[in-house]
Amino acid sequence: MFLMFSIPPMQKVTMPKRTNAVAAAVSLLVLSLGLAACGGSSGSSKSVALVAYSTPQSAYAELIPAFNATSEGKGVTFTQSFGPSGEQSRSVANGLNANVVNFSLEPDVTKLVKAGLVPASWNQNATHGFVTNSVVVFIVRGHNPKHITNWSDLIKPGVQVITPNPFTSGSARWNIMAAYGAQLKEGKTPAQAQEYLTQMFHHVVSQDSSARNALQTFLAGRGDVLLDYEDDAISAEAKGTPIEHVIPANTILIQNPIAVLSKGNSAGGQKFVNYLLSPAGQALWVKKGYRPVISGVPGANTFPAPKGLFTIETLGGWTKVTKQFFEPETGSVAKIEQSLGVSTAK
């Protein structure tokens, strides 16, 4: 319905100045709400919360700006949290805001599936849910003064080993399964492989909460050898750090998962993950020392192929491995840690 008003001829109608100011303010408010409802012309109101394990922090320092330079990423802002993989997973389950999670271990994602935060279909894509690959390596002092080249060297008299705590760090679990699986590849029995782990832990002089912290401990001068991700070693070497890394003949393929949470800005999170899995994104991962999860990425052929490379599936998969080795009370590694007075609390 329209209301018609009649204004006397030649009569000038002027709104008070205060009324003009109010009308302008209302108009501005309406315009702002309209832009917010539409997401804005540049998408600047969109924010993606990234929660990841500690190691790829420096990689994301390049990946996020590269994504922002694309049409899909223009105007997207990020909040970022990095820390030990297991702790990060538990934090998200307990309410830490996240749209994208990138963990060290697949079980850290499946915890969020069970919590109803990540869709069960998270790994039903061409890369099976993985965004990067790597291998477990030995990081040693410059020129390798103790001539550490294989797993048996780690248990020689006087050799001090650094590895994170496997009850907080995903890296540590990869390290342990690399050590165990390498013994099997050498022809030892499971009992002998388990005994090797016991001997190795008696040479461990520091168990930090994460791979990043363990690397800092090693760089500060402690220990003779650090078990770590290949990408961590490459990154440290690129900075001119006086270290080098050795890839043992028998080692494990590290596969790092990524997933988009079903709540919040899942659309924006998926766009970011799509970029990380694209040829451009994977090329940047390679630049930072990670092995790609897709074919045809420049630089991928520079990574050596270990003769005895194996996967976690070779050892029965993470469900079996977690129960056998890492159950806090009954796991074989938990018992070793308890005998050494190391906490197995999650």
The contacts of residue 234 (CB under 8 Å, 6+ apart) are 245, 288, 289
Confidence at residue 38, expressed as pLDDT on a 0 to 100 scale: 37
Q: 159 and 196 in one domain?
A: yes
Count of domains for the chain = 2
Q: 213 and 68 in one domain?
A: no
Is the pTM here over 0.85, yes or no?
yes
Confidence at residue 12, expressed as pLDDT on a 0 to 100 scale: 38
Confidence at residue 3, expressed as pLDDT on a 0 to 100 scale: 36
pLDDT category at 345 given cuts 50, 70, 90 is confident
- Examine residue 11 and state whether it is found in any structural domain, yes or no: no
| Lowest pLDDT segment from 9-18, 112-121, 136-145, 268-277 | 9-18
Q: 168 and 98 in one domain?
A: no
Q: 77 and 140 in one domain?
A: no
Q: 81 and 143 in one domain?
A: no
* CB < 8 Å & 24+ apart, contacts of 284-288: 284/59, 284/62, 284/63, 284/66, 285/59, 285/63, 285/131, 285/132, 287/62, 288/56, 288/58, 288/59, 288/62, 288/231, 288/234, 288/235
Amino acid in the structure at residue 277:
L
Taking only the tens place, the pLDDT of each residue in 234-286 is 999 999 999 999 999 999 999 999 999 999 999 999 999 999 999 999 999 99
| Secondary structure class of 74 (helix, strand, coil) | coil
Q: 260 and 168 in one domain?
A: no
Pick 339 or 7 by higher pLDDT: 339
- Examine residue 29 and state whether it is found in any structural domain, yes or no: no
Q: Among residues 146, 170, 174, which one has the least CA distance to residue 160?
A: 146
Q: Is 31 exposed, middle or buried (0-12, 13-18, 19+ CB in 10 A)?
A: exposed
CATH number at residue 176: 3.40.190.10
Q: How far apart are CA 1 and CA 104, in angstroms?
A: 63
- Examine residue 334 and state whether it is found in any structural domain, yes or no: yes
Confidence at residue 13, expressed as pLDDT on a 0 to 100 scale: 35
- Examine residue 113 and state whether it is found in any structural domain, yes or no: yes
Q: 62 and 122 in one domain?
A: yes
Q: 171 and 318 in one domain?
A: yes
Taking only the tens place, the pLDDT of each residue in 11-59 is 333 333 444 444 444 343 333 333 333 333 333 348 999 999 999 999 9
Q: How far apart are CA 283 and CA 296, in angstroms?
A: 10
Q: Region 105-125: what's the mean pLDDT?
A: 98
Taking only the tens place, the pLDDT of each residue in 313-338 is 999 999 999 999 999 999 999 999 99
Is the pLDDT confidence value at 102 over 70? yes
Is the pLDDT confidence value at 108 over 80? yes
Q: 56 and 72 in one domain?
A: yes
Domain membership of residue 260 as a residue range: 47-131+255-300
Q: 188 and 98 in one domain?
A: no
Mean pLDDT estimate for the chain: 89
Q: How far apart are CA 277 and CA 274, in angstroms?
A: 5
Is the pLDDT confidence value at 170 over 50? yes
